[in-house]
Amino acid sequence: MVSGTGRFCAAIPPTYAGLIDSEPERPTKSKVMLWGILVGALVVAGVGIFLPRGAHTAATTAESTTTSWVPAEPTQLKRLKEHPPTTSSTVAPTPTALFDPVNNGWPKEVFTDYFDGSTPGPSWHTSQTGPPVGSGEQQCFRPDNVAEGLGSLVITARRQDAQCPKGETHPFTSGKVTTGGAGVYLPASTYVEVRAKLPRGQGLWPSVRLRHRSGTDLAEVDVMNYSHAQFPDATSQRVRVAGSPASSKTTPLRTTPGAAPGEGDWHTWGVSILPSSSGVRFTFYTDGIEAHSYVDAKPLWIDRAPADGTWDIAISLAVGGKSVGSPDDPPGVLSAAGKCAQGGTYPDACAANGIQTASFPATFDIDYVRVLTR
C-alpha cells in the first residue's frame, strides 16, 4: 500500500470567499436621520414597531446583514492556498451539506495523490493499448496523452490518426491510468473520492472506475461515468456485481452560466463500500451529498481476491462508444449502437437537448484521488 501524502480539505466556495475577514459598513449620519424619519412616519400611521436601542445600532444591523459562514479549519485553509480552484467556474456545495468521511467511520488514509509532481507517480501505470473489442471506442491510449502539472493529473484526447499496439488504426488518441498496473490495490472495504473537471462534448467519455482484482465480471464500480450525449448535465454512478442486477443512478450536476464551451466545473464523486448485516452496502456521493446506495446481498466477489487488496482504480478519457456516440456523429445520434441518445427517430430525427459538439484537444483534469479505510 502507499501511504498518504496529505490531508483532504474542501475548497472554500467563491460565493463565501469575500466574507472572510470582512467588516460591516458603519452607518453614516444621513442614514441615522433616515431611520428617525421612517420610524416617525410609521408611528403617526398607527403602526407599532420595535425600535432597537438607538438608531445607530439599528442601521448597523440592517447594513451588515450577510450570509453567515464558519471558516474552514486551518488545515483546510492551507489546502486551499496550496491548491486553489483552477477556474472561476468552480462550484462547491454548501459546506454544511458535505459528507465528511473521516468523521463518519473512515479515519485511516491508505492512498492519496494530489498530483503535485511533474509526472504520474509510481502508484500509477499509464496504459498503452487500443479500445476494447466491440465497444465502439475510437482511440488509442498512449502515455504521451497523460501529464501531471499545476496540481492536477491531465488526460488529453486529441484528433490524430494513430496505430495501437495490436496494429489497428484509430482517428483519436487519449490516455488511461490504473493503479493495478503498478501493483497497487485497495482494501475490499474502503472509501474512494475523486475531484475532477470533465470535458463536455458528444463522443467524450471520462470515467473513474474500481475494478475487481480478479476481473470486472465479478465486480466493477463506476465512481463517476459521464455520457454527455445522454445526460449533458448529469453523471452516473453504478455497481455491477456477479449474480445481482446492476444498480445505477444519474445525478444532476450544478453548472455555472458562462463557463467556456466544452468545459465543465469542478465536482467531487465518492463511494463507500462497507459490509453490513444484510450484505455489502455501496453508498455513492456527488459533491459531498449522498446520491444513492445499493446492498449486494450475495457478495460472491468479496473472497475472490488476495488479502492484500481487492480493487484497482482506472481513470480514463475514451473517445467514442456505444453509449456516448462519436464526435463525428450528428448530435444525439449513437451510430455504434444504432439508436438515439435522448430519444427520437433514429437516425434522422434524434433529440439533441443540451448537446455540445466535442472540440479537440479535450482534457479531463483530476485534482486528487484519496482512499480511506476503517
- Vertex 228, ends 226 and 232: CA angle to 5°? 105
Q: Which residues are CB-neighbours of 243 under 8 A, at least 6 positions away?
A: 298, 300
CATH number of 74-373: 2.60.120.200
pLDDT in tens, 139-167: 999 999 999 988 999 999 999 999 999 99
How would you classify the pairing of strands 333-334 and 339-340? Answer: antiparallel
- Please state the rounded mean pLDDT for residues 95-110: 82
Among 9-18, 19-28, 296-305, 338-347, the range scoring the smallest mean pLDDT is 9-18
Cβ atoms 222, 205 nearer than 8 A: no
Q: What is the pLDDT of the chain when averaged over all its residues?
A: 79
Tens of pLDDT, residues 267-288 = 999 999 999 889 999 999 999 9
Q: Is the pLDDT of residue 227 over 90?
A: yes
138, 170 contact by CB (below 8 A): yes
Q: pLDDT (tens digit, 9 = 90+) per residue, 14-73?
A: 332 332 333 334 344 444 444 444 434 433 344 333 333 333 333 333 333 332 222 333
Q: Which of 174, 112, 109 is nearest to 147 (CA)?
A: 174
Q: Among 18-27, 61-70, 236-245, 340-349, where is mean pLDDT lowest? A: 61-70
Tell me the CB-side half-sphere exposure of residue 299, using CA atoms within 13 A: 23
Predicted local distance difference test score (pLDDT) of residue 257: 52
Question: Which amino acid does the sequence have at 24?
Answer: P
Query: In this predicted structure, what is the pLDDT of residue 45?
Result: 42
pLDDT grade, residue 118 (50/70/90)? confident
| pTM of the shown model | 0.75
C-beta neighbour count of 175 within 10 angstroms: 29
For the chain, give every residue range classified as CATH 2.60.120.200. 74-373
Question: Alpha-carbon distance 370 to 147, whole Å?
Answer: 19
Give per-residue pLDDT as tens, 178-195.
999 999 999 999 999 999
**pLDDT of 4 higher than 70:** no
**Can you say how many angstroms the Cα of residue 87 is from the centroid of all Cα atoms in its chain?**
15
What pLDDT does 259 receive? 56
